[in-house]
Amino acid sequence: MPVRVQTDDFDAGREIATLRGSDARIGAVATFIGTVRDINDGTPVTSMALEHYPGMTEKALMAIVEEARGRFSIMDALVIHRVGALRPTDQIVLVAVTSAHRGDAFDACRFIMDILKTRAPFWKKEVTPAGSRWVDARVADVDAEQRWSTDA
């Protein structure tokens, strides 16, 4: 299963090693890790709650991985997304992609992150000194997704 939604933390090194296995066709592994920052939109963030839509989440992530497979020449891909209570410096998401060459690995990894940001049903609620607030969707994320439709 190339996608996982979990409350537990993940060990990026171990996940990458498992994804690579002993496949000697792989020449490139591109990885992205998203982490919780202690500030957002200028406001200190003390913690956050990550909520998702069980049932849809895995399906949406699988669809994104399949779309990446169709667009890029990759061997394998892994997406892990955490939910629940998270604090600054905690890991949120891992995307790892293996390929023969680096171009496809980088492209597919970035593609998966860009599409995940606008399509996967996750929501962040931040706790700040002024109370808690749902995070607003970023215009930059919509722009990043658009990039892939105009490139196509």
Partner 1 sequence: MPDSRTAMPAVTTIRLVYLARLREAFGRSDEDLALMVPAPNVAAVLAVLRARGGIWAEELAAGRAVRVALNHTVAQADAPLRNGDEVALLPPVTGG
- For residue 2, the partner it binds in partner 1, a copy of itself, none, with Cβ less than 5 to 8 A by kind, is none
The CA–CA distances, whole Å, from 54 to 39, 50, 51, 80, 98 equal 28, 12, 9, 14, 27
Considering the rule CB under 8 A, would residue 110 count as an interface residue with a copy of itself? yes
9-17, 18-26, 55-63, 69-77 -> range binding partner 1 (CB under 8 A)? 55-63
Among 27, 53, 66, 146, binds a copy of itself (CB under 8 A): 27
Question: Which of residues 20 and 133 has its CB atom nearest to a copy of itself in the complex?
Answer: 20
Considering the rule CB under 8 A, would residue 25 count as an interface residue with a copy of itself? yes
Which of 120, 83, 91, 121 has its CA nearest to residue 31?
A: 91
Among 35, 43, 132, 146, binds a copy of itself (CB under 8 A): 35
Indicate if the alpha-carbon torsion angle 8, 45, 13, 21 is positive or negative: positive
